[in-house]
Amino acid sequence: MIFTRRFFILFALGVLPLIFAWGTPGVKWGLIVYDLALLLAAYVDYRRTENISKIEITRHMPRRFMIGEENDVQITISHRLPRRFTLTIKDEYPSGLELRGERLLIATPKRHGTAYRQTAVGYKLYAASRGDYGFGDIVVRRRGPWGLIIKQDRIKAAEGVKVYPNINEARRHELSAQRNRQMLIGSRKTRIRGQGREFESLRDYVRGDEMRHISWTATARRGRLITRQYQIERNQSIVVMIDAGRLMTSRIEHLSKLDHAINAALAIGYVATRGGDNIGLLVFNRQVATYLPPQRGHAQLAAMTEALYNIKAQMIEPSYARAFQYLSQNCKRRSLVVILTDLVDRDASAELLAYTATLLPRHLPLIVTIGDKDLRALVAQEPRKIEDVYQQSVAEELLQQREEALARITELGGLALDVPAGQLSLQLVNQYLEVKERGLL
């Protein structure tokens, strides 16, 4: 029981005069009776306050929280009590999540006849990191009918919640990538059905068609130029390798580089699943942390999401040797191997290139590095003191080493992308769709 401000004011009106009137028996006993009556009134007010057992309070929230988004949490109240009353609710949300809304929730539940009627109040939690989080209990306060006391109760409501990678972002990027591809295709006079190895049909030649697709036998038979049309192959394999080493711990735009890589992996997994391809996953740092063999279907995408929700980057150097050796031993079918990593010095680049080259020609490697806006901004700005010149020199050298490494992989027959973190998912999906259209697998 907690006494209210009203109680203390009324109590003071009885106690302070009592100090000065202690020597006057008539006044003294009258004030003592007043104070005792006030305490009795507070007790009666406490007894008349609604019992928490007659109020149903529950927490409702999504089964999965998404990183980088505001996630709704609702507290619902229902009862059959005759009096209208007000609740002050404090939910013990996870300290690792950021509150978006009021800390204390005020609810005045309504009664509808003899039936329960629900009232809901809520708040939002912003998740900046993936992983496991825990809610505590719900603390509820009710003021007595006379306003003398506040009754407080703790409702047991401890439960866990998982913050997952943002699959909604994957859906958005898939739509954007498809729209971009359609715009590029629409710029030509003919509709490209794809340049995979699966023959689909013959049609009349249209200006812009590649000469290598002309069917000369059909052309001779019909007396006009005829083009072979191909459909994009399905049931191909993509394996996404995610570096969870030291360099992936740095943060860009409120998310770590690892979070950006995971979102990109889910984006390409989402598109591949919708396109009927197999998608696999390999996460590594010093050792291989997670491996999912390439499979197709929504169950595989769900397995990827579950495998990635609690992956953390470690402050250790990644072992490309172990990762690529593991992949070679466990993935025999030709695949598009997407390596999401970061490069800083020539030694790391040389090691990555050396082991990436071992994938050729069985697999098609695609190295994707997450561009650092700070380095490019540092190079672009005008130096104002000698320390700025030294810093710009180091930044320019790092960027040059990165460009040289990516150029080297393309010389070997692979693919390479250096993409800003904010465009990583979209650019990767675009590259995947281009690989499919060109029939590179």
Q: What is the pLDDT of residues 31-65, one digit of tens each?
A: 788 888 999 999 999 998 888 888 889 999 998 89
Q: Within 10 Å of residue 118's Cβ, how many Cβ atoms?
A: 13
DSSP state letter for 49: S
Dist. CA 55–CA 340, nearest whole Å: 52
Count CA atoms within 13 Å of residue 216 on its CB side. Answer: 2
What pLDDT shows up at residue 191? Answer: 39
Dist. CA 176–CA 6, nearest whole Å: 60
Q: Model confidence over 72-101: pLDDT tens digits?
A: 999 998 887 777 788 999 999 999 899 998
192 pLDDT band, cuts 50/70/90, is very low
H or E element that contains 365: strand 364-371
Dihedral-angle region of residue 225 (phi above 0 means left; psi in -120 to 50 means alpha; beta otherwise): beta
The model's pTM: 0.71
What pLDDT shows up at residue 116? Answer: 55
- Give a three-class secondary structure readout of 379-426: HHCCCCCHHHHHHHHHHHHHHHHHHHHHHHHHHHCCEEEEEEHHHHHH
Q: Model confidence over 288-347: pLDDT tens digits?
A: 999 999 999 999 999 999 999 999 999 998 999 999 999 999 999 999 999 999 876 666
The residues spanned by each domain of the chain are 2-48, 52-164, 197-231, 237-438
Q: Within 10 Å of residue 247's Cβ, how many Cβ atoms?
A: 20
In the block, residue with structure tokens 């009627």: 117
Dist. CA 166–CA 172, nearest whole Å: 10
Phi, psi angles (nearest 5°) of residue 248: -85, 0
Mean pLDDT taken over the chain: 82
Q: Model confidence over 345-396: pLDDT tens digits?
A: 666 677 888 888 888 888 999 989 887 665 556 556 677 777 766 666 766 6
Q: Is the dihedral angle over the CA atoms 64, 95, 125, 176 positive or is it negative?
A: negative
User: Looking at the domain covering 52-164, what would its CATH class be?
Assistant: mainly beta
Q: Which residue from 32, 20, 37, 81 is spatially nearest to 55, judged by alpha carbons?
A: 81
Is 237-438 a CATH 3.40.50.410 domain?
A: yes
Task: List, in order, residues 6 or more apart from 173 with CB less than 8 Å away.
Answer: 267, 425, 426, 429
